[in-house]
């Protein structure tokens, strides 16, 4: 039988008014020790398809099938113990069942077992063992495992640091449509790390990941459209992608959008939108947005002039590493009374802690 989660049989045997699987007959077969029936019954209870959803009954029958050596059932059992479904969470039992499934060659189990060793859940933390399991799943074409293995090579965890091996495995995962790998591969092409720098390839992979909703890819694609890097300048596309990323909470995209609306760079000036996005980014600790808000309050062109709030945002920006804001912050400080300066510093400190 194929080594995969057999949700296919389970399951999607829906015929008009309901299931074509008779639960009583399936249960009878399961009680007689039929491993396929045990697995099917467990999944029926697990998903609430053809039977009432019941995690405890699901685990009972999946363990029955797992005990007969069925790798797919072992994977399900491991997942339920890992997540605490139908049973108290138990990483040791999860690891035991994942291992049995992994030894049967199930790549999902190999990946999950690798992650347990990577994070030290239920087992001692061990990068080398994690790499071994990731590699076994990756060699079977498992995209998420290929991505995980690539990250180990990229960061030198459990293996010598090797950008070229990272590119190799990120490429394999990216070509299968794995969005996170597409995003990292695009960055590697952009920076020429482990592969010759190629902005067009960077745009290609950022676009793939952005279309799948990866906020970081949307941000970088927006920036590349804005600056004409690897692609003709296109402010409309830049705003489109930056807005996509900003709506997902990407601080850099929020900051860039705010600055564009503030200065009218590629878009009509819109102070309301500018302040909305700058505040969003500044609240997340974006130093550039904090600095711009400081300038806005200092100039008093968009908002009422307020030296105290100007100092607060400039001081926060400096604290986040923006040395370009030091001179204006110190200048604004001279316009405050000692009491105002103390209050501004207290506000900065409170916001910084958040």
Residue 352 pLDDT grade (very low, low, confident, very high; cuts 50, 70, 90):
confident
For residue 8, pLDDT over 70 is answered with no
Average pLDDT over residues 118-130: 97
Structure confidence at residue 23 (pLDDT):
85
Please give the model's pTM, rounded to 2 decimal places.
0.88
Place of tokens 């609240």: 283
Q: Tens digit of pLDDT for each residue in 274-328?
A: 999 999 999 999 999 999 999 999 999 788 999 999 999 999 999 999 999 999 9
Structure confidence at residue 15 (pLDDT):
39
- In terms of DSSP H, where are the helices of 90-162? 91-103, 107-119, 127-139, 143-155
Domain boundaries, the chain: 1-101, 133-173, 196-284, 304-354
Average pLDDT, the chain: 93
Rounded distance, CA 165 to CA 344, Å? 50
Rounded distance, CA 202 to CA 107, Å? 29
What's the topology of domain 196-284?
1.25.40
In which element (H, E) is residue 15 found?
strand 14-15
Structure confidence at residue 351 (pLDDT):
83
CB 123 within 8 A of CB 117: yes
Structure confidence at residue 20 (pLDDT):
58
- In terms of DSSP H, where are the helices of 176-283? 179-191, 199-211, 215-227, 235-247, 251-263, 271-283
Average pLDDT over residues 216-230: 97
- What top-level class would CATH report for the domain 1-101? mainly alpha
**With the C-alpha atoms ordered 123, 124, 125, 130, is the resulting torsion angle positive or negative?**
negative
For residue 201, pLDDT over 60 is answered with yes
Residue 350 pLDDT grade (very low, low, confident, very high; cuts 50, 70, 90):
confident
Average pLDDT over residues 180-187: 98
Rounded distance, CA 2 to CA 43, Å? 17
- Give bridge partners of residue 19 from the DSSP assignment: 14
Rounded distance, CA 308 to CA 301, Å? 16
Which of 17-31, 241-255, 302-316: highest mean pLDDT?
A: 241-255
Structure tokens at 347: 């506000």
Average pLDDT over residues 173-186: 98
């Amino acid at each position: 039988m194929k080594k995969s989660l057999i949700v296919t049989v389970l399951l999607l045997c829906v015929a008009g008014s309901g299931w074509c699987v008779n639960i009583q007959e399936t249960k009878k077969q399961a009680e007689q020790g039929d491993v396929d029936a045990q697995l099917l019954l467990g999944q029926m209870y697990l998903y609430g398809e053809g039977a009432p959803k019941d995690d405890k009954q699901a685990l009972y029958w999946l363990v029955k099938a797992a005990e007969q050596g069925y790798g797919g059932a072992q994977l399900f059992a491991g997942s339920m113990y890992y997540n605490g479904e139908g049973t108290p969470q138990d990483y040791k039992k999860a690891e035991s069942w994942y291992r049995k499934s992994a030894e049967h060659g199930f790549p999902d189990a190999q990946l999950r077992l690798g992650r347990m060793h990577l994070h030290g859940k239920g087992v001692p933390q061990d990068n080398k063992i994690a790499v071994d399991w990731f590699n076994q799943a990756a060699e079977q074409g498992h995209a998420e495992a290929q991505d995980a293995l690539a990250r180990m090579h990229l960061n030198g965890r459990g293996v010598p640091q090797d950008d070229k091996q990272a590119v190799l495995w990120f490429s394999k995962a990216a070509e299968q449509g794995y969005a996170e790998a597409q995003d990292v591969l695009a960055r590697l092409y952009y920076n020429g790390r482990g592969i010759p720098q190629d902005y067009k390839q960077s745009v290609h992979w950022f676009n793939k990941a952005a279309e799948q909703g990866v906020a970081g890819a949307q941000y970088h694609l927006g920036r590349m459209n804005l600056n004409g890097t690897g692609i003709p300048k296109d402010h409309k596309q830049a705003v489109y992608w930056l807005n996509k990323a900003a709506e997902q909470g990407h601080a850099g995209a929020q900051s860039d959008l705010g600055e564009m609306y503030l200065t009218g760079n590629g878009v009509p000036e819109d102070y309301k939108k500018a302040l909305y996005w700058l505040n969003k980014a500044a609240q997340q600790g974006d130093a550039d947005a904090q600095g711009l808000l400081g300038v806005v309050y200092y100039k008093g062109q968009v908002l009422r002039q307020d030296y105290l709030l100007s100092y607060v945002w400039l001081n926060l920006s400096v604290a986040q590493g923006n040395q370009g804001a030091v001179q204006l912050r110190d200048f604004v400080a001279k316009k405050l009374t000692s009491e105002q300066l103390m209050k501004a510093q207290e506000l900065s400190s409170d916001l910084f802690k958040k």
